[in-house]
C-alpha cells in the first residue's frame, strides 16, 4: 500500500510571494521619496528651507499612506485566508497582537499544513477502498501499467489474478450487510497475508478482488493460487458465526495472454468465470474460454427462439422411496439441442435464460410438457409424481402461481402430485417476494422442495417458516459420504433435523450401493442418482421401469400403453 504522498505542490509558496513583494516595496518607496527630496534640495539649490519641510511632510504622508495601504492589504490577506480556511474547515490560530507579519506567517503555515494533509487524504481515498483500505481499481490499473512497462523493458513476466467470492450475495442477504462487510475485510486481510513485497492486492468492488504479481510466472502463480485457496479454507469467524468464504481465481500471464492492461483485465475476468463455472478454485486463461464467452453472448439470442424452434426436450430422472424401493416420482430436467453447437448443458443456458428473461416461457414450457408426460404415464398405468425445477426468477414473478395453476387445470393433474424444486439461493435473493409466491403455490396444493440444500447459508429453522415439505441434500454431500466422514455427519444431521421439523429428505447424487446403504440406515426418505438411473426420455423411463427390478411390483401396465413421449 502506498503511504499518503506529501505532495510538493504546497500552496504556501503561492500565498507568500505577493505578500513578500509588497512588504519589500514599502521601505524602497520610502527611501526613494526621501532620497528624491534630498537630491532636489542639494543639487539644484532651488528649494527654500520651507520647501524642504514640505518635501519631508510629503515623504512622511506618503510613508503613512503606504503603511495604511500595507495594513489594509494584510487585513485583506487575513480575511481571504480566513474565508478559505472556513470553507475547508481548517481552524486558524486567532488573530493576536504582535508582529503582523509573524502572525500572518504562522496562520499561513497552519493553513498550508492542513491543505497538504487534506490533499494527501483525498489522494489516498481516491486510490483506496474505504471498507478494506486495500488499493482500489484505479490504483491497481496504475500499478499494472507501471509493472507492464517494467516487464517490457526488462523482458520479464507478470501475473494478474481476478478473484470473486462464491455465494457472497447469500451472506449479505441472509446474515445482513454488516456481516458481509466484515467478511470482505477479513478476506482482504487473508489475501494480504499471501503477498510478497512487490505484489498488490486490490478490491475492485463488491466481492471482487485482484492480485498483481510483478515478475511471476506460471509456476509461482500456481503456488500463490494454492496458498490463497488454503487460507480461504479456514472458516472466518464473525461474532458467533463461522463462515467459509469460497473463492474463484482467474489467472492471466504477461506476455502469454495479453500485452496491455485492458486485455489482461478482460482475460483474467474470463478465466475467473471459468474457475467459478467449473468450481475448480482457480483457472488459467485459455483462448478457448474466450470463444466460449463470445458464443455465450450469441447463445442468449438463440435461446429466445429455442422453445419456438422445438429445440428443447425433457429428460426424467427416477426418484426412489428408500424404505420400499419403489420409484414414485421423476425429476424433469431440460435439455437444449442447439442446431449448430449441439447439446448444451442446462447449467450453461439456465443462467443465460435468467439474465435474458427467457426463463419465464422456458419454465412454463417445462411445466406444460412435464404435466403432459405425467398424463401419458398415468394413461399407461404408470402413476408417478413429477418434480420440476423453478428458477430464481420464477420466485420473483408474482404472476407465476396463476399461470402454473392454469396449466395443472388444463392437464387435469392433481397439484399434490407436482413437486416444485426451489434452490436455497433463489429464496434468499428476495426473501419477501419468494415467501409470498411460495405461499400461493403451496395454497394451490403444490409440494415445495428445497433443492441443493447445504450449498447456501440458510438454516433449516429459517426454511421451516416457509411452506416447505421436503429438502434435497445437494449431491456434493451425498456422492462421497461413504468415504468422507464430514459429509456423512452433515447428511446425518440434516436428515435428523429435517425429520424433527416434519420435512421429508431426498438425497441426490446416489452413485453407489455403499451410499444407498448408509442413507437407508440414516432413515433418508428418497434417493436419486446414477446408481438408480441417469436421466432419460419419458418413454425410455417407462420402458426401463417396466423391466426394472426397482419397480416391477408397483407397475400396472395398461393394455393400451401409449408409448408417445413428450
**Cβ closest to ligand C2E, residue 134 vs residue 367:** 367
Instruction: Please state, in angstroms and rounded to a whole number, the distance separating the CA atoms of residues 529 and 473.
Output: 12
If one asks whether residue 317 binds Ca ion (CB under 5 A), the answer comes out as no
SS (H, E, C) 363-389: HHHHHHHHHHHHHHHHHCCCCCEEEEE
If one asks whether residue 342 binds ligand C2E (CB under 6 A), the answer comes out as no
If one asks whether residue 452 binds Ca ion (CB under 5 A), the answer comes out as yes
Residues 386-415 vs Ca ion: string with x where CB under 5 A?
A: ---x--------------------------
Which of 139, 130, 144, 131 shows the shortest CA–CA distance to 172?
Answer: 131
Looking at beta carbons, which residue is closest to ligand C2E?
529
Greatest alpha-carbon span in the chain: 148
**Cβ closest to ligand C2E, residue 232 vs residue 408:** 408
Instruction: Please state, in angstroms and rounded to a whole number, the distance separating the CA atoms of residues 560 and 379.
Output: 8
If one asks whether residue 269 binds ligand C2E (CB under 6 A), the answer comes out as no
If one asks whether residue 248 binds Ca ion (CB under 5 A), the answer comes out as no
- Partner touching 487 among ligand C2E, Ca ion, none, CB below 5 to 8 Å by kind: none
Q: What is the smallest separation between the CB atom of 423 and ligand C2E, expressed in angstroms?
A: 7
If one asks whether residue 451 binds ligand C2E (CB under 6 A), the answer comes out as yes
Subset of 360-389 contacting Ca ion (CB under 5 A): 389
**Cβ closest to ligand C2E, residue 175 vs residue 419:** 419
If one asks whether residue 350 binds ligand C2E (CB under 6 A), the answer comes out as yes
The neighbour count for residue 277, using CB atoms within 10 Å, is: 15
How many helical (H) and strand (E) elements, i.e. helices and strands, does the chain have? Answer: 19, 16
Long-range contacts: 515-522, Cβ < 8 Å, 24+? 515/478, 515/479, 515/481, 515/482, 516/322, 518/481, 518/482, 518/488, 518/491, 519/322, 519/478, 519/491, 520/322, 520/323, 522/491, 522/492, 522/495
Strands (E), 84-166: 158-165
* Residue from the set 451, 482, 487, 525 that interacts with Ca ion by CB under 5 A: 451
**Cβ closest to ligand C2E, residue 211 vs residue 395:** 395
* Residue from the set 197, 347, 485, 549 that interacts with ligand C2E by CB under 6 A: 347
Q: What is the smallest separation between the CB atom of 425 and ligand C2E, expressed in angstroms?
A: 11
Instruction: Please state, in angstroms and rounded to a whole number, the distance separating the CA atoms of residues 26 and 194.
Output: 65
Please give the grid coordinates belonging to residue 156.
520479464
* Residue from the set 391, 455, 458, 494 that interacts with ligand C2E by CB under 6 A: 391
The neighbour count for residue 321, using CB atoms within 10 Å, is: 15
* Residue from the set 37, 250, 415, 535 that interacts with ligand C2E by CB under 6 A: 535
- Partner touching 350 among Ca ion, ligand C2E, none, CB below 5 to 8 Å by kind: ligand C2E
**Residue 63 burial class via C-beta count within 10 angstroms: exposed 0-12, middle 13-18, buried 19 and up:** middle
Contact residues for ligand C2E, defined by CB under 6 A = 317, 333-334, 345-347, 350, 366, 389, 391, 451-452, 475, 479, 508-511, 529-530, 535
Contact residues for Ca ion, defined by CB under 5 A = 389, 421, 451-452
Amino acid at each position: 500500500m502506498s503511504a499518503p504522498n506529501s505532495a510538493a505542490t504546497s500552496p504556501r509558496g503561492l500565498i507568500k510571494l505577493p505578500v513578500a513583494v509588497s512588504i519589500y516595496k514599502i521601505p524602497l518607496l520610502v527611501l526613494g521619496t526621501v532620497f528624491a527630496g534630498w537630491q532636489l534640495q542639494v543639487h539644484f539649490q532651488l528649494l527654500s528651507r520651507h520647501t524642504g519641510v514640505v518635501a519631508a511632510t510629503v515623504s512622511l504622508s506618503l510613508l503613512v499612506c503606504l503603511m495604511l495601504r500595507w495594513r489594509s492589504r494584510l487585513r485583506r490577506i487575513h480575511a481571504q485566508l480566513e474565508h478559505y480556511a472556513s470553507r475547508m474547515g481548517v481552524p486558524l490560530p486567532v488573530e493576536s497582537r504582535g508582529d503582523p507579519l509573524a502572525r500572518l506567517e504562522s496562520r499561513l503555515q497552519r493553513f498550508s499544513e492542513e491543505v497538504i494533509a487534506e490533499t494527501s487524504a483525498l489522494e489516498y481515498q481516491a486510490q483506496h477502498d474505504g471498507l478494506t483500505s486495500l488499493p482500489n481499481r484505479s490504483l491497481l490499473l496504475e500499478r499494472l501499467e507501471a509493472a507492464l512497462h517494467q516487464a517490457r523493458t526488462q523482458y520479464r513476466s507478470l501475473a494478474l489474478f481476478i478473484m470473486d467470492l462464491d455465494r457472497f450475495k447469500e451472506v449479505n442477504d441472509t446474515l445482513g450487510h454488516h456481516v458481509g462487510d466484515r467478511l470482505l475485510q477479513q478476506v482482504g486481510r487473508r489475501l494480504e497475508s499471501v503477498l510478497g513485497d512487490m505484489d498488490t492486492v486490490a478490491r475492485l468492488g463488491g466481492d471482487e478482488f485482484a492480485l498483481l504479481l510483478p515478475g511471476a510466472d506460471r509456476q509461482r502463480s500456481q503456488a500463490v493460487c494454492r496458498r490463497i485457496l488454503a487460507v480461504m479454507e479456514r472458516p472466518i469467524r464473525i461474532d458467533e458465526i463461522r463462515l467459509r468464504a469460497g473463492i474463484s481465481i482467474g489467472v492471466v500471464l504477461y506476455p502469454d495472454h495479453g500485452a496491455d492492461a485492458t486485455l489482461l483485465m478482460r482475460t483474467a475476468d474470463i478465466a475467473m468465470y471459468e474457475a467459478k463455472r467449473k468450481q475448480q478454485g482457480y483457472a488459467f486463461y485459455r483462448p478457448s474460454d474466450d470463444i466460449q464467452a463470445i458464443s455465450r453472448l450469441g447463445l442468449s439470442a438463440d435461446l429466445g427462439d429455442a422453445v419456438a424452434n422445438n429445440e428443447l426436450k425433457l429428460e426424467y430422472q427416477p426418484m426412489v422411496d428408500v424404505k420400499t424401493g419403489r420409484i414414485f416420482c421423476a425429476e424433469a430436467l431440460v435439455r437444449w439441442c442447439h442446431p449448430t453447437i449441439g447439446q448444451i448443458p442446462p447449467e450453461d443456458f439456465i443462467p443465460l435464460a435468467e439474465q435474458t428473461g427467457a426463463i419465464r416461457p422456458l419454465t412454463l414450457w417445462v411445466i406444460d410438457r412435464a404435466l403432459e408426460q405425467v398424463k401419458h404415464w398415468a394413461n399407461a398405468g404408470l402413476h408417478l409424481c413429477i418434480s420440476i425445477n423453478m428458477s430464481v426468477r420464477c420466485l420473483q414473478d408474482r404472476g407465476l402461481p396463476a399461470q402454473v395453476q392454469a396449466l395443472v387445470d388444463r392437464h387435469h393433474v392433481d397439484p399434490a402430485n407436482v413437486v416444485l424444486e426451489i434452490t436455497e439461493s433463489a429464496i434468499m435473493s428476495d426473501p419477501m417476494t419468494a415467501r409470498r409466491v411460495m405461499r400461493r403455490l403451496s395454497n394451490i396444493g403444490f409440494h415445495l422442495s428445497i433443492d441443493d440444500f447445504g450449498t447456501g447459508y440458510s438454516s433449516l429453522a429459517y426454511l421451516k417458516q416457509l411452506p416447505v415439505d421436503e429438502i434435497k441434500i445437494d449431491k456434493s454431500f451425498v456422492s462421497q459420504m461413504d468415504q468422507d466422514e464430514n459429509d456423512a455427519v452433515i447428511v446425518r444431521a440434516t436428515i435428523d433435523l429435517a425429520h424433527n421439523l416434519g420435512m421429508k429428505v431426498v438425497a441426490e447424487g446416489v452413485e453407489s450401493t455403499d451410499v444407498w446403504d448408509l442413507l437407508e440406515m440414516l432413515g433418508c426418505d428418497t434417493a436419486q442418482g446414477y446408481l438408480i438411473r441417469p436421466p432419460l426420455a419419458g418413454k425410455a423411463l417407462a420402458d426401463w421401469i417396466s423391466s426394472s427390478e426397482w419397480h416391477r411390483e408397483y407397475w400396472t401396465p395398461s393394455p393400451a400403453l401409449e408409448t408417445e413421449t413428450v
